[in-house]
Structure 1
Amino acid sequence: MKIVILDRDGVINEDSPDYIKSVAEWRPIPGSLEAIARLCQAGFRVFVASNQSGLGRGLFDYDAFCAVNDTLQQRLAELGGRIDAIAFAPEHPDRATPMRKPAPGMILDLARRLNLSPELIPVVGDSWRDIEAARAAKARPILVRTGNGLRTEAEHRAELRGVAVYDDLAAYTRALIAAQQALPQIN
């Protein structure tokens, strides 16, 4: 099974220091939805693992959160793609559980549910906590420069040794699909 785990805000859609609280505030990063559709069409299952402390902070409710995710799924369906599941950590950072990144809980839970070893799973994020969570899960961290990615790259350059860095999700998708196509086919 080929899977990819993506952070949402900053990887799929534009991030905001004020949080994405409604569909009106949700804006996909150019090329990200097409990249997810390409992954799906290349046989990948795509999952999201996202901290959503705006829920725990009372900035938006579950209906608003679900409406954003429904919009994401609708837009992807129009392109022939989909997100297979969305894992999220709703708690306030002061009351973090093992599911909230930088802890590896969401990644490990998805790997367990899919009966996969985390080492086989690329985890794409834009923040240092995404990289830390992937490393803690022993998954393959990937950094994109969208969202907080440029700042993450600048602030953690030395610690990013061994982490693949791409301009955006579309660039990572092109590289991943090309690498998959280069693998020998077993009949």
Structure 2
Amino acid sequence: MKLLILDRDGTLNRGRDDKVASPDEWEPLPGALEAVARLNHGGWRVVLVTNQSGIGRGLFDMASLNAIHVKMHRQLAAAGARVEAIFICPHAPEDRCDCRKPLPGLFLQIGARFGVPLADVPAAGNSLRHVQAGAAAGCPTHLLLTGASAGLAGHEAAAIPGLPPGTQVHADLGAFADWLLAQPVPAAKTAA
């Protein structure tokens, strides 16, 4: 199974300083939905991992988050794309849970749920927290220079503080999709 873990806010959709708290505030980044469709058509199953501390802070509730995801799923479907699952951390930072990125709890849940070794599951997102969580779980990591990381464009990966070693850097989700789809498939995975 070719599984991929993506961040949501700032990777798939525009992030907001005050949190995406309603369907009206959810807006896909240009080309992001189409990138997911290309990945799906290339055989990749996409799972989202997202910190949603707005729930723990009382800024919005699960019904609002579910409505946001209904809108997201509809827009993905209209682009010929789909997301297999969404793993969320609803906790506020002070709750000290193990599922809030940069901790790897949600990534470990994904590995267990899908029965795949995380060393074979790329993790891509626009935040250092996402990349650090992916690295802590053993995923190959990719930083996308969108949203919170847009200001890092032009920097060498080694010059980005906190970036896990070996992390590859891509301009956006579309560039990452192009790179991933161009990679050779290991021989063991091509057997019929």
TM-score (norm 2): 0.90
Task: Spell out the pairing of 1:4-15 with structure 2 (5 A cutoff).
Answer: 4-15=4-15
Q: Please say if residues 128 and 162 of structure 2, whose CA atoms lie closer than 8 Å, have aligned partners that are also in contact.
A: no
CA distance in 1, matches of 2:184, 2:109: 25
1:174 to 165, 178, 182: 178
CA distance in 1, matches of 2:60, 2:41: 33
Name stretches of at least 5 consecutive residues in structure 2 with no aligned partner. Answer: none
The offset of 1:32, in angstroms, is 0.4
Which residue in the other structure is 2:160 paired with? 157
TM-score (norm 1): 0.93
Which residue in the other structure is 2:19 paired with? 19
CA distance in 1, matches of 2:138, 2:85: 21
Which residue in the other structure is 1:71 paired with? 71
SS of alignment partner, residue 148 of structure 1? helix
Name stretches of at least 5 consecutive residues in structure 1 with no aligned partner. Answer: none
SS of alignment partner, residue 182 of structure 2? helix
Question: What amino acid sits opposite 2:30 in the alignment?
Answer: P
Sequence identity, in percent?
Answer: 37
Which residue in the other structure is 2:40 paired with? 40
The offset of 1:158, in angstroms, is 5.1
Which residue in the other structure is 1:140 paired with? 140
Question: What amino acid sits opposite 1:12 in the alignment?
Answer: L
How many positions carry a matched residue from both structures? 186
Q: RMSD of the TM alignment (CA)?
A: 1.8
